[in-house]
């Protein structure tokens, strides 16, 4: 092996190691999303004060019936499912990196898929929040029912991240063309 190849091999090994770690982390995150969301709705009494403190939403846990909790879980799982899909795409992407496939068509699809998921999440999360506050306060006395429209900096950051990844997928496509051309140079 010539000396020029040694640094590339060491870099490739480093990328493979870190990519395997991140793929494992993404694999763990996928099932954690529905488990975490379910936990919040099962233990709503614990989280109701947080909802009041952060969003000013007064939700009486006694009025939040199992049906309401199930509905809340369902609404929460709309952005939740999008997040699961995003983590799944990341898992696949890091698996490809670990295998040395940096610029494959599949890797580009994963980057684009994650970008779309982040964009979709950025739109779905505020909508879900709006519907959830309506749901949990619907049984409140008149004057205490809320329709909360809140767009946080986190939502904007996720939207930016999604757009950035989508543009990166375009750049990655160009990188693949260059990589394919380089592969034809012996």
The kind and range of the H/E element at 66 are helix 66-98
- Tokens representing 120 are 């979709």
CA 149-31-13 angle, 5° bins: 110
CB of residue 178 vs another protein: minimum separation in angstroms?
11
CB of residue 117 vs another protein: minimum separation in angstroms?
36
Quick one: which segment of 23-31, 60-68, 165-173, 178-186 binds another protein (CB under 8 A)?
178-186
Query: Which residues fall within 8 angstroms of residue 48, CB to CB, at 6 or more apart?
Result: 59, 60, 61, 64
Residues 44 and 39: their CA atoms lie apart, in Å, by 8
User: Is 186 an interacting residue with respect to another protein (CB under 8 A)?
Assistant: yes
User: Is 184 an interacting residue with respect to another protein (CB under 8 A)?
Assistant: yes
Of 67 and 186, the one with the shorter C-beta distance to another protein is: 186
Of 153 and 184, the one with the shorter C-beta distance to another protein is: 184
User: Is 3 an interacting residue with respect to another protein (CB under 8 A)?
Assistant: no
Phi, psi (rounded to 5 degrees) for 151: -115, 115
Contact positions toward another protein, by CB under 8 A? Answer: 2, 181, 184-186
């Amino acid at each position: 092996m010539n000396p020029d190849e040694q640094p590339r091999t060491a870099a490739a090994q480093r990328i493979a190691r870190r990519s395997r770690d991140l793929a494992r982390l993404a694999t763990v995150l996928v099932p954690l999303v529905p488990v975490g969301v379910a936990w919040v709705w099962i233990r709503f009494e614990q989280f109701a004060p947080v909802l009041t403190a952060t969003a000013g939403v007064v939700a009486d846990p006694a009025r939040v019936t199992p049906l309401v909790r199930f509905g809340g879980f369902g609404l929460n799982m709309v952005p939740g499912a999008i997040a699961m899909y995003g983590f799944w795409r990341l898992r696949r992407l890091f698996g490809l990196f670990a295998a040395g496939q940096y610029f494959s068509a599949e890797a580009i699809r994963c980057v684009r898929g994650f970008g779309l998921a982040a964009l979709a999440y950025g739109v779905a999360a505020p909508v879900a929040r709006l519907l959830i506050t309506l749901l949990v306060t619907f049984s409140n006395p008149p004057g205490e029912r809320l329709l909360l429209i809140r767009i946080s900096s986190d939502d904007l950051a996720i939207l930016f991240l999604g757009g950035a990844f989508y543009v990166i997928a375009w750049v990655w496509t160009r990188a693949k063309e260059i990589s394919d051309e380089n592969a034809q140079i012996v």
